[in-house]
Chain A
Amino acid sequence: MESSTPAPANPGTSPLRVLVTGTSGMLGRAVAQRLQDAGHHVRSLQRRAVHDPWESVQGSVTDAGVLTRAVDGMDAVIHLAAKVSFTGPWSEFQSTNIEGTRELLAAARQEGVPDFVFVSSPSVAHFGSSIVGAPAGAADPERARGFYAQSKAAAEQLALAADSPNFRVAAIRPHVVWGPGDTQLVERVVERARAGRLPLLDGGRALIDTTYVDNAAEAIARGLTRMDHAHGQALVVTNGEPRPVGELIAGICAAAGVPAPAFSVPGWLARGAGSVLEKAWLAAGNRGWVNDEPPMTRFLAEQLSTAHWFDQRHTHDVLDWKPSVSLDDGLAKLSDHYSQHL
Chain B
Amino acid sequence: MVAEAASVLEIPDPWPGVKASWRRTLSVPSTSAVDSPGTRHEWHFLDNAADVAATVAATGVQPAGTLLCVHGNPTWSYLWRTLLSGATTGATATTGPWRVIAVDQLDMGFSERTGTFRRLEDRITDLGDLTNALGLTGPVVTVGHDWGGIISLGWATRHRDELAGVVLTNTAVHPAGFSLPPALKLALHPAVHGWGTTTTSAFLRVTHGLAQPPLTPDVRAAFMAPYRSVSRRAGVGNFVADIPATSSHPSWSALDEVSSGIQTLGVPALMMWGPKDPIFSDRYLRDLIHRLPQADVHRFEGASHLVQEDRDIATPTFDWLAKNLVGRGHVPAIPEATREAAYSPMLAELDARCEDTSVAIVDMAPGSASKVSNTLVNRSASWAELARDVDDLAAGLADLGVTAGKRVSLLVPPGITLTTLIYACLRLGAVILVADAGLGTQGMSRAIKGAGPDFLVGIERALAGARLYNWPGIRISSVDFPGVTGSSKRALFNVAATVPEIMAKGSVLRRSNPASAFTPAAPDDDAAVLFTSGSTGPAKGVVYTHRRLAAMRDTLKATYALKAGTGLVAGFAPFALLGPALGATSVTPDMDVTSPRTLTAAALAAAAAAIDATVVFASPAAMVNVVASEAHLTPEHRTALARVELVLSAGAPLSEPLLAEVAQLAPNAAIHTPYGMTEALPVTDISLDGIREAGVGNGVCVGKAVSGAVVAITALNPDGTPTLEPSTAPGITGEILVAAPHVKARYDRLWITQEHSAAIPGWHRSGDVGHFDDAGRLWVEGRLAHVITTPAGVRTPVAGEQAAERLPEVSRAAVVGVGPVGTAAAVVIVETVPQTKRAGLADTALAAAVRSAARTVDLEVAAVLCIPEMPTDIRHNSKIDRAKLAVWASRLLSGGRAGKP
Contact partner of B894 (CB less than 8 A), chosen from A240, A246, A251, A307, is: A307
Residue of B nearest to A310 (CB): B823
Decide: A307 near B895, CB < 8 A? Known: A203-B841, A244-B863: yes
CB distance from A266 to the nearest CB of B (A): 9
B residues 796-845 near A (Cβ < 8 Å) are 818-820, 822-825, 840-841, 844
Of A6-14, A128-136, A178-186, the segment with at least 4 beta carbons within 8 Å of chain B is A128-136
The reply to whether B825 and A242 form a contact with Cβ atoms under 8 Å apart is yes
A204 within 8 A of B: yes
The reply to whether B895 and A247 form a contact with Cβ atoms under 8 Å apart is no
The reply to whether B841 and A307 form a contact with Cβ atoms under 8 Å apart is no
Question: Which of A247, A260, A309 has its CB near the most chain B CB atoms (within 10 A)?
Answer: A247
A92 within 8 A of B: no
Question: Which of B818, B844, B894 has its CB near the most chain A CB atoms (within 10 A)?
Answer: B894
Fill in one digit per residue for A288-327: 1 if any B CB lies within 8 Å of its CB, else 0: 0000000000000000011101011100100000000000
Contact partner of A247 (CB less than 8 A), chosen from B818, B823, B825, B844, is: B844
Question: Which of B818, B820, B823, B892 has its CB near the most chain A CB atoms (within 10 A)?
Answer: B823
Q: Which residues of B contact A240 (CB under 8 A)?
A: 791
A residues 237-259 near B (Cβ < 8 Å) are 240-244, 246-247, 250-251, 254
The reply to whether A203 and B819 form a contact with Cβ atoms under 8 Å apart is no
The reply to whether B819 and A206 form a contact with Cβ atoms under 8 Å apart is no
Decide: A134 near B825, CB < 8 A? Known: A206-B894, A305-B895: no
The reply to whether B894 and A130 form a contact with Cβ atoms under 8 Å apart is yes
CB distance from A145 to the nearest CB of B (A): 15
Decide: A243 near B863, CB < 8 A? Known: A132-B818, A205-B895: yes
Q: Which residues of A contact B892 (CB under 8 A)?
A: 205
B35 within 8 A of A: no
Fill in one digit per residue for A264-294: 1 if any B CB lies within 8 Å of its CB, else 0: 0001000000000000000000000000000
How far, in whole Å, are A206 and B824 apart by their CA atoms in the complex? 15
B240 within 8 A of A: no
Fill in one digit per residue for B467-485: 1 if any A CB lies within 8 Å of its CB, else 0: 0000000000000000000
Decide: A311 near B823, CB < 8 A? Known: A132-B818, A243-B863, A246-B841: yes
The reply to whether A244 and B791 form a contact with Cβ atoms under 8 Å apart is no
The reply to whether B862 and A242 form a contact with Cβ atoms under 8 Å apart is yes
A218 within 8 A of B: no
CB distance from B849 to the nearest CB of A (A): 13
Q: Which residues of A contact B823 (CB under 8 A)?
A: 133, 311-313
How far, in whole Å, are A203 and B865 apart by their CA atoms in the complex? 12
Decide: A133 near B824, CB < 8 A? Known: A205-B892, A205-B893, A313-B791: yes
Fill in one digit per residue for A132-156: 1 if any B CB lies within 8 Å of its CB, else 0: 1110000000000000000000000
Contact partner of A306 (CB less than 8 A), chosen from B844, B847, B895, is: B895
B residues 726-771 near A (Cβ < 8 Å) are none
CB distance from A291 to the nearest CB of B (A): 32
CB distance from B839 to the nearest CB of A (A): 10
B890 within 8 A of A: yes
The reply to whether B818 and A202 form a contact with Cβ atoms under 8 Å apart is no
CB distance from A293 to the nearest CB of B (A): 23
How far, in whole Å, are A246 and B865 apart by their CA atoms in the complex? 12
The reply to whether A206 and B895 form a contact with Cβ atoms under 8 Å apart is yes
Q: Which residues of B contact A247 (CB under 8 A)?
A: 841, 844, 847, 863
CB distance from A42 to the nearest CB of B (A): 32
How far, in whole Å, are A205 and B820 apart by their CA atoms in the complex? 19
Fill in one digit per residue for A188-204: 1 if any B CB lies within 8 Å of its CB, else 0: 00000000000001111
The reply to whether B825 and A309 form a contact with Cβ atoms under 8 Å apart is yes
How far, in whole Å, are A7 and B634 apart by their CA atoms in the complex? 88
The reply to whether B824 and A243 form a contact with Cβ atoms under 8 Å apart is no
The reply to whether B862 and A207 form a contact with Cβ atoms under 8 Å apart is yes
The reply to whether A241 and B860 form a contact with Cβ atoms under 8 Å apart is yes
How far, in whole Å, are A307 and B896 apart by their CA atoms in the complex? 10
CB distance from B217 to the nearest CB of A (A): 22
Q: Which residues of B contact A241 (CB under 8 A)?
A: 860, 862
The reply to whether A202 and B895 form a contact with Cβ atoms under 8 Å apart is yes
Residue of B nearest to A302 (CB): B895
Fill in one digit per residue for B870-901: 1 if any A CB lies within 8 Å of its CB, else 0: 00000000000000000000101111000000
How far, in whole Å, are A241 and B859 apart by their CA atoms in the complex? 12
How far, in whole Å, are A101 and B282 apart by their CA atoms in the complex? 67
Contact partner of A207 (CB less than 8 A), chosen from B818, B840, B844, B847, is: B818
The reply to whether A204 and B895 form a contact with Cβ atoms under 8 Å apart is no
Decide: A132 near B844, CB < 8 A? Known: A207-B862, A241-B860, A244-B863: no
Q: Which residues of A contact B825 (CB under 8 A)?
A: 133, 207, 242, 309
Question: Which of B840, B862, B893 has its CB near the most chain A CB atoms (within 10 A)?
Answer: B893
The reply to whether A207 and B791 form a contact with Cβ atoms under 8 Å apart is no
How far, in whole Å, are A244 and B893 apart by their CA atoms in the complex? 7
Q: Which residues of B contact A251 (CB under 8 A)?
A: 844
Decide: A132 near B819, CB < 8 A? Known: A206-B893, A206-B895, A240-B791: yes
Residue of B nearest to A250 (CB): B844
Decide: A132 near B841, CB < 8 A? Known: A206-B895, A243-B862, A306-B895: no
How far, in whole Å, are A260 and B841 apart by their CA atoms in the complex? 14
Residue of B nearest to A305 (CB): B895
Residue of B nearest to A132 (CB): B819
How far, in whole Å, are A103 and B820 apart by their CA atoms in the complex? 39
Q: Which residues of A contact B847 (CB under 8 A)?
A: 247
How far, in whole Å, are A21 and B854 apart by their CA atoms in the complex? 42
Residue of A nearest to B792 (CB): A240
How far, in whole Å, are A119 and B841 apart by their CA atoms in the complex? 34
Residue of A nearest to B838 (CB): A203
Question: Which of A134, A205, A305, A313 has its CB near the most chain B CB atoms (within 10 A)?
Answer: A205
Q: Which residues of B contact A309 (CB under 8 A)?
A: 819, 825
Q: Which residues of A contact B820 (CB under 8 A)?
A: 132-134, 311
The reply to whether B791 and A312 form a contact with Cβ atoms under 8 Å apart is yes
CB distance from A268 to the nearest CB of B (A): 9
Contact partner of B895 (CB less than 8 A), chosen from A134, A243, A267, A313, is: A267
The reply to whether B841 and A204 form a contact with Cβ atoms under 8 Å apart is yes
The reply to whether A205 and B840 form a contact with Cβ atoms under 8 Å apart is yes
Contact partner of B893 (CB less than 8 A), chosen from A207, A260, A313, is: A207
Residue of A nearest to B822 (CB): A313
How far, in whole Å, are A313 and B820 apart by their CA atoms in the complex? 12
How far, in whole Å, are A271 and B823 apart by their CA atoms in the complex? 29
How far, in whole Å, are A251 and B843 apart by their CA atoms in the complex? 12
Residue of B nearest to A201 (CB): B895
How far, in whole Å, are A267 and B895 apart by their CA atoms in the complex? 8
Q: Which residues of A contact B841 (CB under 8 A)?
A: 203-205, 244, 246-247
Q: Which residues of B contact A134 (CB under 8 A)?
A: 820
How far, in whole Å, are A202 and B863 apart by their CA atoms in the complex? 15
Residue of A nearest to B790 (CB): A240
How far, in whole Å, are A243 and B818 apart by their CA atoms in the complex? 12
The reply to whether B893 and A307 form a contact with Cβ atoms under 8 Å apart is yes
How far, in whole Å, are A309 and B892 apart by their CA atoms in the complex? 14
The reply to whether B819 and A130 form a contact with Cβ atoms under 8 Å apart is no
Q: Which residues of B contact A201 (CB under 8 A)?
A: 895
The reply to whether A132 and B822 form a contact with Cβ atoms under 8 Å apart is no
How far, in whole Å, are A190 and B202 apart by their CA atoms in the complex? 63
Residue of A nearest to B826 (CB): A242
Q: Which residues of B contact A267 (CB under 8 A)?
A: 895
Residue of B nearest to A260 (CB): B844
How far, in whole Å, are A241 and B890 apart by their CA atoms in the complex? 16
Sample of 18 more A-B contacts, CB < 8 Å, known A203-B841, A246-B841: A132-B819, A132-B894, A133-B819, A201-B895, A203-B840, A204-B841, A205-B893, A206-B894, A241-B862, A242-B863, A244-B841, A244-B862, A247-B844, A307-B894, A311-B822, A312-B791, A312-B823, A313-B822
A-B contact pairs, 16 of them (CB 8 A): A132-B819, A132-B890, A133-B819, A133-B825, A205-B893, A207-B862, A242-B863, A243-B862, A247-B841, A247-B847, A251-B844, A267-B895, A305-B895, A309-B819, A312-B791, A316-B791
Q: What 6 A-B pairs have minimum CB-CB distances, sorted nearest first?
A: A133-B819, A307-B894, A130-B894, A207-B893, A311-B823, A133-B820
B binding-site residues for A, Cβ under 8 Å: 791, 818-820, 822-825, 840-841, 844, 847, 860, 862-863, 890, 892-895
